[in-house]
């Protein structure tokens, strides 16, 4: 029985040196995991993450990390060469290899 299919995986480095993983399922369910992570920390981490995402600005020419949702197959560092749409986190950007990606997949 499948309980969840995760389509987005991101590693987040905290100021205290811990590396956490943030996973998002196809239904939008978010799971945080990592060393010494407590359930009490998760709401604040998610709020901080969403705030940073909402205020993040990219420009054509920026080097970004693409977090490929297809099991990280093509994840890597790319240059932004164009912006197809301007819809916040659902904006579509074109990478240096002509791949079109959503802004929420970039860091």
Mean pLDDT taken over the chain: 83
pTM across the whole model: 0.51
Name, in order, each residue with C-beta under 8 angstroms of 24's C-beta and a sequence gap of 6 or more. 6, 7, 8, 30, 31
β-sheet bridge partners, residue 76: 66
Distance in angstroms (rounded) separating the CA atoms of residues 42 and 2: 24
The predicted-structure confidence for 25-50, as pLDDT tens digits, reads as follows 877 788 888 888 888 888 888 888 87
Quick check: 79 pLDDT over 80? yes
Distance in angstroms (rounded) separating the CA atoms of residues 48 and 45: 5
Classify residue 11 by its DSSP letter.
Answer: E
């Amino acid at each position: 029985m499948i309980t969840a299919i995760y389509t987005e995986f991101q590693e987040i480095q905290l100021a205290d040196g811990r590396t956490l993983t943030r996973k998002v399922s196809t239904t939008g369910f978010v799971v945080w995991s990592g060393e010494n992570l407590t359930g009490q920390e998760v709401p604040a981490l998610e709020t901080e993450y969403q705030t940073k995402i909402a205020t993040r600005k990219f420009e054509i020419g920026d080097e970004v990390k693409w977090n490929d949702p297809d099991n990280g197959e093509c994840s890597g560092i790319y240059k932004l060469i164009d912006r197809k749409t301007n819809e916040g986190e659902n904006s579509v950007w074109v990478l240096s290899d002509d791949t079109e990606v959503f802004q929420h997949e970039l860091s």
